[in-house]
Amino acid sequence: MSEGRVQFRNFEDVRTLFGSRDKNLRRLRDVLHLDVVLRGEELHLRGEQTQVDLGTEIVSELRSIIEHKGLLDEADLERALQRGHFPLDASPDLIIDVFHKARKIRPMGIGQRDYIKAIQEHDLVICEGPAGSGKSYLAVAMAINALRQELVKKIVLVRPAVEAGEKLGFLPGDMLAKVNPYLRPLLDALGDIIDFDQVQRYIDKEVIEIIPLAYMRGRTLNNTFMILDEAQNTTITQMKMFLTRMGHHSKIVVTGDGTQTDLPDRVESGLNDAVRRLKNIPGIATVFLSGEDIVRHPLVRKIVEAYDDRPHRRFDDGRDRPANSMAGASPETNGHKANENFSSDPGLPPSQNTSNSDQTEMTDTPPRPISDTD
């Protein structure tokens, strides 16, 4: 029987850790299989040595969250406890240090570990996985890490401005106000990793740029960490356009969920096409996350599993793609060569971009700039 100890700064922090009616304490005991005893302001953990080591590190992490935020919400607790199913000695070299108030981000499973390793070792990474598996969050954390270490000079976060099955119509305001609803998830991820004030300063100085995909055309970005989120909503032409923005000393991470595409019927996703075409090119890594990597509310994993029996979707080339093929899917089930040229997109007819001073309908068809770099 081994014992570990975690000292808290005051009893209020201990009460916050335990939660209402000791709900969090019971959760800690059940997951870690440890006896937890409070003596004054010090928590004693007793059990097998491996579990004590793991429990001590998890409780210390929760203590840091409480000291930083003044509270402990369920998401933070579950994110930390996910490590109870992950070998302690598998991740020390893969901890993401964002150099912000001792905040460190750890992989919560084998899939996330492989994802972080792929970003460290490759200049272009494509990650496909279900909602809540940490695709965008870990990519943003890796981007902040690279920026703080001066490996890059800029972060560019990109999303296609595609509505999720609804028509939002005309949106008021300037360009930033119009695209804000589409880019809000990336802002949320940034705000969860570093302080909002720091995020705002980075944006004001254009160290961090958050833009819709349409405005990437014609640019060449050097020394930049680029993230394309919700890539399943890109067309083939858009995906090619984005990937070819990469300049010297830059890195690209593309994330998406092939089961949640909002493209019109019979328009193939640029994400699926890129996975097929680029899988054998050196320097490019493809990572497939599954339901086991989901770190949101415990019900999210069950919801994803419940939707796994959705019918196949047929594309123009006659192929059937299962709606849940991202979970452990193999990109090898196709007859296309990895190095063939990008084909023309069967995509949509040109959108009509009507605008006036304060009323512009959001589309993902940009005003094409005149540029020799395109």
Distance CA 164, CA 184 (A): 14
Mean pLDDT over 60-69 rounds to 84
Pick among 3.40.50.300, 3.40.50.1980, 3.30.1370.10, 3.40.640.10: CATH of 2-85 = 3.30.1370.10
Q: Could you report the per-residue pLDDT of 174-220, keeping only the tens digit for each? A: 656 666 676 777 888 888 888 888 888 999 999 999 888 888 989 99
Looking at residue 310, what is its pLDDT? Answer: 53
Q: How far apart are CA 43 and CA 59, in angstroms?
A: 9
Condensed to tens digits (0 to 9), the pLDDT of residues 337-365 reads 333 344 444 444 444 444 443 444 444 44
Furthest-apart CA pair in the chain: how many Å? 72
Better-scored residue on pLDDT, 69 or 247: 247
Domains of the chain by residue range: 2-85, 108-335+357-361
Average pLDDT value for residue range 93-99: 71
∠ CA(98), CA(99), CA(102), 5° rounding?
A: 100
Number of residues written out for the chain: 374
151 closest CA partner among 219, 208, 224, 245 = 224
Contact 113, 91 (CB under 8 A): yes
Q: Is 158's pLDDT higher than 80? A: yes
Q: Which fold has domain 108-335+357-361?
A: Rossmann fold (3.40.50)
Which comes out higher in pLDDT, residue 11 or 302? 11
Look over the chain and give the mean of its residue pLDDT values, rounded to a whole number.
76
Cα 224 to Cα 219: distance, rounded to the nearest angstrom: 12
- 250-261 tens-digit pLDDT: 999 999 998 888
| Model pLDDT, residue 300 | 75
Share of the chain above pLDDT 70, in %: 71
